[in-house]
Amino acid sequence: MNSTAKLLDVVALTVDLPQYNLWRGQVGTVVEILANGTAFEVEFSDRNGRTYESLGLRPEQIMVLHFEPTSPDKKRCNSRSISSPTIQMQRTDEHRQCIAKGNCRR
């Protein structure tokens, strides 16, 4: 059910976290991968883009949301635009490789 979260993935909580006023189904963004993927820093923002909570979560506490059909034989292209020029170049290279293999679903 849960696929491995990647940097900048949109995720939803699968559990209630009342101590943070966060509830199952709330949507956040993975902003950091921690402990070699055994935890993720997830940022929760309001409709105006203001962060109201950011905390480390375990993979079983989140699920990756998909906004388009997925196919098990195609790898997801992680070449989304982001502000860092270095990361943009890395993502552009990944996107070129993804296109060359015929796997881009962006």
User: For 51-102, how does the pLDDT look when each residue is reduced to its tens digit (9 = 90+)?
Assistant: 999 999 999 999 999 988 766 655 555 544 444 444 444 455 565 666 566 6
My answer on whether 32 and 54 are in the same domain is: yes
Stretch 20-32: mean pLDDT, rounded? 97
Q: State how many domains the chain has.
A: 2
Residue 91 Cα distances to 9, 17, 52, 79, angstroms = 14, 33, 28, 4
Question: In this structure, what are the phi and psi dihedrals at residue 102, rounded to the nearest 5 degrees?
Answer: 75, 25
Whether 31 is covered by a domain: the verdict is yes
Reduced to 3 states (helix: H, G, I; strand: E, B; else coil), residue 47 is coil
Cβ proximity of 39 and 57 under 8 Å: yes
Q: Kindly state the percentage of the chain with pLDDT values over 70.
A: 62
Domain range spanning residue 54?
10-64
Whether 3 is covered by a domain: the verdict is no
pLDDT at residue 30, as a whole number:
97
Q: pTM score, two decimals?
A: 0.64
Whether 2 is covered by a domain: the verdict is no
Query: Residue 24: CB partners within 8 Å, gap ≥ 6?
Result: 12, 13, 14, 15, 16
